[in-house]
Chain A
Amino acid sequence: MNQRMNQLKEKNDGLFIPFITAGDPTPEATIDIALMLEEAGADLLELGIPYSDPLADGPTIQEASKRALAGGMTLEGAMKLVPLMRERGLTIPVVVFTYFNPLLQFGEKRFTELAGDMGIDGILVPDLPYEESDDLNTLCNKQGLSMISLVAPTSNARIKKIASRAEGFLYCVSSLGVTGERKKIDDRVYDFLETVKQASPVPVAVGFGISSNEQVKEMQQHADGVIVGSALVREIAKHEDLLKDEENRKDGLFQLKTFVTSLISS
């Protein structure tokens, strides 16, 4: 684990982890959005690499992927945005979210080396469960990258095993299904979060479906942090025209920041 990830562990409470898709709506807008998010209080940025067949994602993020791919975004292009964010002053850790196939085609070793070079702090591969992740995990360790693990409400006996190798933060899936906003999150999540917290050596963040200030507050009481993806991506889509246009991007970013602030204000 590297320096920036360690800061996360030190803060260890009320963490806010936003997810955005790289290249949605444009690479330049992605950089500006990242900086806005840090300013608004993000503790870590999850940067999604667009993929044609995102099995773990719902329609909102799927559409964002489609837009980003249509704009020519690639795995390498997404990773190269990170140093540009750093140049502009981004200090929070960045975790790259990618499905396994694009990573495999790029080459696991080449991928982790580039991630290291680009100042990326961790990777999250939603379709690479514990049992399949040994090789990538070893490569990540060599580069000081944290491999972010996920646990689901159905993980049961698997929680201990997965938590024992957790780095950076442990991603708790709030409920079954794919990513996307949910009106209500099942109350059973609280017991689940409690179990995970006891097993986890790193902060526990909960994601999937969190889209309102009320839900953020509720989940912050039971976990060390929240992850917000679809709700933010939907908001980005809503202001797509402003964000795409260099002249008007500021207005779009302002709207986005207002949304983020209202989402996480206590």
Chain B
Amino acid sequence: MQTTTSVYPDKRGRFGEFGGKYVPETLMSAIEELEQALDEAMASDEFEKEYVEHLREFAGRPTALTYAKNISEKLGGAKIYLKREDLVHTGAHKLNNAIGQALLAKRMGKTKIVAETGAGQHGVATATIAARFGLSCKVFMGAEDMERQALNVFRMELLGAEVIPATSGSQTLKDATNEAIRYWVTHAEDTFYLIGSVVGPHPYPKMVRDFQRIIGDEAKEQFTARESRLPDEIIACVGGGSNAIGTFYPFIEDDVRLIGVEAAGKGVDTDQHAATITHGKKGVIHGSLTYLLQDEAGQITEPYSISAGLDYPGVGPEHAHLASTGRVQYEAVTDQQALDALKLLSVEEGIIPAVESAHALAKAFERAGKLTPNDTILVCLSGRGDKDVHTLMKHFKGGDES
């Protein structure tokens, strides 16, 4: 794999004070086994070759770098470039990570995969790669998300996966993750838990980052070839934060302004948002210490976003670290701002982005106006909007936001 850019995580799986392994003892041996297998795989040329080959032949990498000429000229500020993860097979960056982890599962001799999914993009990516690799696949999904994203549920089933409704709590991503971990506790011997973002106990945040850094590595090369320099700013949306860390990571030591965009939902002054870094406090969720939306007593509170993919009360521990050191700036964008940006990109550039990605776009459009045509902004367009058309139709035609 590529040379490491930062020293994190340390041996204990910590990014500064964040990260770690806060899991029941029953899972510790499975996690230790994973850690060892991951280290060996990442040091293996053969593993890298296989991973890169699947990215090229199956996922469709490298993805394009697209200059958003119409919007850039319309806004009259910085030039905006899009890293097109929406062009990855299955429609989002999620497949990069699913390929890496599924290869690792095979290498470890596991025959079954369990995963959690919110919007369904990670579930679809996992079901896809499980089908290709001949692994059996169970996906936990919040019962409410299953309703919101019925199309993706059908897609997973078509690919041969079993979709299991999580009926506890808010019946969204948080609860699907709880259920997937509970399932894994019982079946760790033959089952690999394929986490969809840079969250969870060590080594998950590091592993997912390393499988997603392909986004940033490609972008760096493509952007330099195109503009003969690095971008001035890079912007990506942050739910758990995997597309963002994948994009940022190769630029951490460069002189580039990095901006992560969280979901402000109906506004950060309401209780309906998912702005974990901007408004959360340090806490432990799903095995790691990070920023977390919670009440004073430490009970986890329900996040809200129009985007099921950003609707998560935690965030990857590396983001928590990057926020606390100030290396990355985190801001929040409302449902409405994201939808406006989504419409603008669709009309001006002929690309319908995922609502998640539209959060990053909204911030980019706002920033562009404040910069000059000599400046450049790179946006990670993490996924395509097909999965969201139902939500969008309701919003744009019926005025119902739910």
Contacts and interface: CB of A to CB of B under 8 A. Distances in A.
Given A62-B168, A127-B284, A176-B185, A100 B22 contact: yes
Given A104-B282, A176-B186, A178-B186, A162 B24 contact: no
A102 B284 CA distance: 9
Interface residues of B, number: 36
Interface string B194-219: 00000000000000000000000000
A101 B285 contact: yes
A129 B24 CA distance: 6
A131 B298 contact: no
A173 interface: yes
B199 to A, nearest CB: 14
A103 B289 CA distance: 13
Given A55-B24, A155-B28, A173-B26, A75 B182 contact: no
A101 B169 CA distance: 17
A152 interface: yes
B298 A102 contact: yes
Contacts of A127: 22-24, 284, 287
Interface string A66-83: 000100001100000000
A59 to B, nearest CB: 8
Contacts of A69: 299
Contact of B188 (A55, A130, A176): A176
B70 to A, nearest CB: 45
A105 to B, nearest CB: 3
A52 B186 contact: no
A129 B23 contact: yes
Contacts of A101: 283-285, 292, 294, 298, 300
A134 to B, nearest CB: 11
B225 interface: no
Contacts of A173: 25-26
A258 interface: no
Contacts of A155: 25, 28-29
A110 interface: no
B25 A152 contact: yes
A112 to B, nearest CB: 16
B281 interface: yes
B285 A178 contact: no
Given A105-B283, A176-B188, A178-B182, A131 B21 contact: yes
A156 interface: yes
A55 B181 contact: yes
A262 interface: no
Given A101-B294, A132-B20, A178-B182, A154 B300 contact: no
Interface string B7-48: 000001000000011111110111000000000000000000
Contact of A131 (B12, B186, B187, B189): B12
Contact of A158 (B29, B185, B281): B29
B298 A75 contact: yes
A135 B37 CA distance: 29
Contacts of B297: 74-75, 102, 105-106
A244 to B, nearest CB: 22
Interface string B133-173: 00000000000000000000000000000000000110000
B178 interface: yes
B30 A154 contact: yes
B27 to A, nearest CB: 8
A150 interface: yes
A125 B24 CA distance: 9
Contact of B299 (A52, A58, A132, A150): A52
A201 interface: no
Interface string A27-61: 00000000000000000000000011101101000
Given A101-B298, A104-B283, A158 B26 contact: no
B285 A177 contact: no
A151 B299 contact: no
Interface string A192-230: 000000000000000000000000000000000000000
B283 A56 contact: no
Contacts of B300: 52-53, 101
A170 to B, nearest CB: 11
A105 B296 contact: yes
A55 B116 CA distance: 14
A128 interface: yes
Contact of A177 (B20, B21, B185, B294): B185
A129 B28 contact: yes
Contacts of A154: 26, 28-30, 188-189
Interface string B95-115: 000000000000000000000
B174 interface: yes
Contacts of A100: 22, 284
Contact of A104 (B24, B25, B188, B298): B298
Interface centre among B182, B189, B281, B297 (most CB of A within 10 A): B297
30 contacts: A51-B299, A53-B169, A55-B23, A55-B24, A56-B24, A56-B185, A62-B168, A69-B299, A99-B284, A101-B298, A105-B297, A106-B298, A126-B25, A127-B23, A127-B24, A127-B284, A129-B24, A129-B25, A131-B12, A132-B20, A132-B21, A150-B24, A151-B25, A154-B26, A173-B25, A173-B26, A176-B26, A177-B182, A177-B185, A177-B186
7 tightest Cβ-Cβ pairs between the two chains A and B: A105-B298, A177-B186, A102-B298, A152-B26, A52-B299, A154-B29, A56-B24
Given A99-B284, A178-B182, 9 more contacts: A51-B299, A53-B300, A69-B299, A75-B298, A127-B22, A129-B23, A131-B12, A154-B26, A155-B28
